[in-house]
Amino acid sequence: MKKLFWFAIIFILQLALPVYGQEEVSQDSIEVFLIDSYVTPEPPYKFILSFVTSAPAKTKIILHDKYDFNIEENFLEDHKAEIDISKLKFDSTTVPFVILVKDSLGNQNLSERFEVILPGEQENKIEEKTNYLFMCCLGGVIFGFPSPTLVITKEKQYFSLTKEIPLFSFQKLNSRYPFGYFTAEYSYIFDAPTRNYFRLGYKQLFELPVFEYVTIGANWFSNFKGFNGISPEVSVGWVKFYDVFTLYSKYRLNFKPGEKGTEFHEITVGLYSSFFSLNLY
């Protein structure tokens, strides 16, 4: 079982490493000075943008964290754009955007986060999927609902409930998921000799085209009564709902290093969301 687990991890890494090798963004910034930004009041709705940079640069705008448009492909200080947004979909009348700047040496940096307000007619086309009340209620469900788990030991199988909370995450701009995050977790195994477990772990996430993501992680666990160990794991995110949470399945191997016969396996189905975690990147 252990050999199969490690083989699966190596196979997933081979798939995911090309996806992970994305271009880094420099933190040394060329300053961006916004002159004007607005959306025309009549259709076709156009986003009018003008700004200057503190040094000649190529620029691109990232709108609503998911739409990107090239603004200037030559190294200039004065930048203007007119972008047709009639067919774009937003979930708020206030749309955030940032400007990606690239200097002549190839260094990149992001501007501060700006906002543009949509006109009243465009507001009626907005998909109201993530209003504040819905997000709060949904967040409460996600953080309050434990994940059902099948626990498999050499002697017997048990049912368990576990709750994992992402604490800190690392997410790049224009990505749907963090590429890594730290977690805290509590598990209760019904009718087992050892029932309570606490875990701290780190998960590395890889977005893949065939489904939402694959994560590979490792945890330290303890029952605070002398049984301490480590638990490598792999999980697959299958489908995402409302851009908030993802249905996933997970396999985890638990064991105490140096002691044979202490290992047990877990198969979990649950909901993942990094919405309330603290993004450190």
- Residue 236 or 277, more confident: 236
Which pairs from 210-214 meet CB under 8 Å and 24+ separation? 211/236, 211/237, 211/238, 211/239, 212/176, 212/177, 212/236, 212/237, 212/238, 212/239, 212/240, 212/246, 212/248, 213/177, 213/237, 213/246, 214/12, 214/15, 214/16
Q: 5 with 251: CB under 8 angstroms?
A: yes
pLDDT at 256: 93
Q: pLDDT per residue over 153-191, tens digit each?
A: 998 999 999 999 999 998 876 678 889 999 999 999 999
pLDDT at 24: 43
pLDDT at 9: 59
2-20+131-279 — its CATH code?
Answer: 2.40.160
State how far the Cα of 254 lies from the Cα of 276, in Å rounded to an integer: 28
Closest alpha carbon to 243 in 182, 166, 177, 185:
177
**Does residue 32 surpass a pLDDT of 80?**
yes
- Residue 90 or 78, more confident: 78
Q: How confident is the model at residue 232 (pLDDT cuts 50, 70, 90)?
A: very high
pLDDT at 129: 47
Closest alpha carbon to 203 in 156, 237, 242:
237
pLDDT at 122: 54
Homologous superfamily of 32-123 in CATH? Immunoglobulins (2.60.40.10)
Which segments of the chain belong to CATH 2.60.40.10?
32-123
Element (H, E) at 12: helix 2-20
**Does residue 92 surpass a pLDDT of 70?**
yes
pLDDT at 18: 43
Q: How confident is the model at residue 26 (pLDDT cuts 50, 70, 90)?
A: very low
State how far the Cα of 115 lies from the Cα of 155, in Å rounded to an integer: 59
- Whether the full predicted model's pTM is greater than 0.75, yes or no, is no
Q: Mean of the per-residue pLDDT values for the chain? A: 84
Which segments of the chain belong to CATH 2.40.160?
2-20+131-279
Q: How confident is the model at residue 7 (pLDDT cuts 50, 70, 90)?
A: low
pLDDT at 273: 82
Q: How confident is the model at residue 43 (pLDDT cuts 50, 70, 90)?
A: confident
- Residue 80 or 24, more confident: 80
Over range 109-131, report the average pLDDT.
70
pLDDT at 209: 84
State how far the Cα of 192 lies from the Cα of 238, in Å rounded to an integer: 30
| Tokens (6 digits) for 270 | 């649950």
- Residue 274 or 230, more confident: 230
pLDDT at 94: 87
Q: How confident is the model at residue 230 (pLDDT cuts 50, 70, 90)?
A: very high
